[in-house]
């Protein structure tokens, strides 16, 4: 028996129509299926631990002692979250000989306290430094769409997206520095959530950018993401905000900077979604935000990811450079040439751009745009270095806006069944997470 969402699984558990053991075994069977993507979606499958946890959750539920309604539901975690006794590799082989983590990341531990069962650690772009999802060490999992061709899953949370889309757990924990939850969600046809960065503690996670890193889930509904986000943020008494009616929602459609390079499928699918929302009563307004075009100039001499990654990686690079994917190593090494003055100028420019854009978007319930301007490219398209870089920058461009502006954002699918996946991204205000999730649930229902 298959359940799409966490709420559906929780209802079936409460009614006795399924067990945690059954849910875990179904997920493990999908991971192990040689015809599927499990071998590439997961770096480590923790089958014995997951089965033991599932049996424990079933026993607790039978005794009336279940930790939460969600106890026993299987999920996965990206290979940059610490688990006590496990080496955190970050999708790399450069950390194979690193010591095991002493403690589990708080964001994971909070979910385990609620009874969620961790199936294992999902694949990712090495050290989270690309939006494509390519990993030469562990293989590249393929997007669910057009598997015969073999298409990019998006990154860096590639395995989390593919696993969730293919039923290998009900959700996957990812991270988002410039779109790493939302890009793979868009390319795999699921929902990806990026909270305001400060809401979920980064403790116990391998960093890319201390400034931009955000921890969020990928799942099959907005409600699933909202639940997991609340627990990861420590809001144990959380209640979802009321879902507003679509009629009357004011949605600002970003123009200019984020509109270049759309392929025809993305453009048509996104405009169709806007038409459906307008027909449901949403107020669709084209929104000019000229300051967005200043972002590339602000990052011309320095960027947070490269400079902060270099600060973390430089000692490891000195010892293990040959173990890195050369394309990732080149991106990290760019930080070596960035000066303290460059970095300070960037932080000042960011503050100025944030302040200038805030009043332009304050009156909208959400700002919207396509998550990515492309449908999933074929893996073969990024074999050449020039195309790897060009397509990577295109996929990152729109999602990075929310990270740079220190805001929350979500990608949800807006294509019809059988069509190429297209993500519809909504961006909220800084710390406006609860409101944006409620708006996203309304939009999700209207587009269903």
Distance CA 170, CA 172 (A): 7
> Order of strands, edge to edge, in the sheet holding 250-254?
42-45, 117-122, 74-78, 171-176, 214-219, 191-194, 409-413, 423-427, 366-370, 250-254, 283-287
Mean pLDDT, the chain, rounded, equals 97
Cis peptide before 156 (omega within 30 of 0): yes
**CB distance 157 to 172 below 8 Å:** yes
Distance CA 222, CA 412 (A): 8
End-to-end CA distance of the chain: 23
pLDDT at residue 1 above 70? no
**CB distance 425 to 399 below 8 Å:** yes
pLDDT at 3: 74
Among candidate residues 92, 71, 83, the one with its CA nearest the CA of residue 23: 71
Q: How far is CA 394 from CA 129, 162, 366, 374, 391, in A?
A: 14, 21, 22, 8, 5
DSSP run (H or E) holding 316: helix 304-320
pLDDT at 171: 98
User: In the chain, helix, strand, coil percent, each to 5?
Assistant: 45, 15, 40
pLDDT at residue 378 above 90? yes
pTM reported for the whole predicted model: 0.98
Query: CA triplet 83, 86, 89: central angle to 5 degrees?
Result: 95
β-pairing verdict for 74-78 and 171-176: parallel
Q: How far is CA 168 from CA 26, 120, 163, 346, in A?
A: 8, 10, 5, 41
Distance CA 162, CA 40 (A): 9
**250-292+349-447 and 6-232 share a CATH fold:** yes
Tokens for 326, please give them: 């050369």
The predicted-structure confidence for 293-337, as pLDDT tens digits, reads as follows: 999 999 999 999 999 999 999 999 999 999 999 999 999 999 999
The predicted-structure confidence for 69-120, as pLDDT tens digits, reads as follows: 999 999 999 999 999 999 999 999 999 999 999 999 999 999 999 999 999 9
Task: Judge: domain 6-232, CATH 3.90.1300.10.
Answer: yes
Banded model confidence at residue 2, pLDDT cuts 50, 70, 90: low
- What would the mean pLDDT of 177-195 be, rounded to a whole number? 98
The predicted-structure confidence for 5-26, as pLDDT tens digits, reads as follows: 999 999 999 999 999 999 999 9
How many alpha carbons lie under 13 Å from residue 370 in its C-beta half-sphere?
28
Distance CA 404, CA 285 (A): 23
- Residue 81: DSSP 8-state: B
Among candidate residues 93, 130, 125, 80, the one with its CA nearest the CA of residue 331: 130
CATH class for the region spanning 250-292+349-447: alpha beta
pLDDT-above-90 percentage for the chain? 98
Distance CA 423, CA 153 (A): 13
* Residues labelled catalytic: 78, 156, 180
Domain chopping of the chain, boundaries? 6-232, 250-292+349-447
């Amino acid at each position: 028996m298959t359940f799409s969402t966490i709420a559906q699984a929780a209802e079936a558990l409460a009614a006795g129509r399924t067990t945690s053991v059954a849910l875990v075994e179904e997920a493990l069977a999908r991971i192990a299926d040689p015809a599927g993507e499990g071998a590439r979606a997961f770096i480590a499958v923790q089958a014995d631990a997951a089965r033991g946890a599932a049996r424990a959750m079933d026993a607790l539920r039978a005794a009336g002692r279940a930790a939460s309604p969600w106890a026993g539901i299987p999920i996965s975690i990206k290979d940059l979250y610490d688990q006590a006794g496990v080496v955190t590799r970050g999708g790399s082989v450069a950390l194979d000989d690193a010591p095991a983590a002493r403690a589990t990341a708080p964001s994971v531990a909070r979910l385990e306290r609620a009874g969620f069962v961790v199936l294992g650690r999902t694949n990712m772009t090495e050290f989270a430094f690309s939006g494509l999802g390519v990993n030469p060490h562990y293989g590249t999992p393929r997007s669910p769409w057009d598997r015969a061709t073999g298409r990019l899953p998006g990154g860096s949370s590639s395995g989390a997206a593919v696993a969730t889309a293919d039923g290998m757990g009900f959700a996957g924990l990812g991270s988002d520095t410039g779109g790493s939850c939302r890009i793979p969600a868009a390319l795999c046809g699921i929902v990806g959530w990026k909270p305001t960065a400060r809401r979920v503690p980064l403790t116990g996670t391998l960093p890319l950018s201390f400034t931009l890193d955000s921890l969020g889930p990928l799942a099959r509904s907005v409600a699933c993401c909202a639940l997991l986000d609340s627990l990861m943020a420590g809001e144990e008494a959380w209640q979802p905000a009321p879902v507003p009616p679509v009629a009357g929602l004011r949605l600002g459609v970003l123009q200019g900077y984020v509109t270049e390079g759309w392929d025809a499928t993305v453009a048509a699918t996104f405009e169709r979604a806007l038409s459906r929302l307008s027909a449901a009563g949403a107020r669709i307004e084209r929104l000019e935000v000229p300051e967005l075009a200043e972002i590339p100039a602000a990052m011309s001499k320095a960027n947070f990811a490269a400079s902060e990654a270099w600060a973390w990686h430089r000692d490891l690079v000195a010892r293990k450079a040959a173990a890195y994917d050369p394309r990732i190593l080149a991106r990290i090494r760019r930080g070596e040439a960035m000066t303290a003055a460059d970095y300070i100028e960037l932080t000042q420019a960011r503050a100025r751009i944030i302040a200038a854009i805030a009043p332009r978007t304050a009156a909208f319930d959400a700002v919207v745009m396509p998550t990515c301007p492309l449908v999933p490219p074929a893996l073969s398209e990024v074999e050449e270095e020039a195309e790897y870089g060009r397509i990577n920058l295109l996929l990152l461009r729109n999602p990075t806006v929310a990270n740079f502006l220190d805001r929350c954002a979500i990608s949800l699918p807006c294509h019809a069944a059988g069509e190429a996946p297209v993500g519809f991204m909504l961006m909220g205000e800084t710390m406006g997470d609860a409101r944006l999730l409620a708006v996203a649930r309304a939009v999700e229902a209207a587009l269903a």
